Amino acid sequence: MVNKHPNTTGLLNHASKKKRETQYRVNEVIQLMVKEGQKINFNSVSEKAQVSKAYLYREPLVRKTIEDLRQQQEGIHDFKNVKRRTSDASKDVIIETLKNKLNLLKHKNKLLESENEHLKTQLKKDLGKVYENL
């Protein structure tokens, strides 16, 4: 015996009430996380609001809110990455400069060694002439 006209109003009312409460809870958690400056992503919101990640992805308004806030926070954290990338670039420039200095100093060292050898031979010749004149 199946009821041809089942009374589902109570069930529908309960489902809509549960949905409103869940949406309210998620919005409260998101607002709290923004105030506290916490990192906002689907995983952290689902843990704090005690809802599934699937729910967050399934609800278009909630999903857009989280994605927008996450993107805003990425802009804030990009400064650290830019600084790190700049730091790496600076290190690369410093390394290249030091390599150039090292090569220049090696070249100067070779020139000085050859000049030193030339002066030693010149000194030997001059000392030989001095001994001959004695």
Residue 6 lies in a domain: no
Q: Which amino acid is at 111?
A: L
Residue 1 lies in a domain: no
Q: What is the distance between the alpha carbons of residues 63 and 125, in angstroms, rounded to a whole number? A: 91
Residue 7 lies in a domain: no
**Is residue 9 within 8 Å of 19, Cβ to Cβ?**
no
The range of the structural domain enclosing residue 79 comes to 12-133
How many domains does the chain contain in total? Answer: 1
Lookup: tokens for 81: 């990455």
Helix/strand number for the chain, H first, E second? 4, 0
Residue 38 lies in a domain: yes
Residue 4 lies in a domain: no
Residue 62 lies in a domain: yes
Phi, psi of 99 (to 5 degrees): -60, -45
Residue 22 lies in a domain: yes
Quick check: pTM over 0.75? no
pLDDT single digits (tens) 28-58: 999 999 998 889 999 999 999 999 999 999 9
Residue 127 lies in a domain: yes
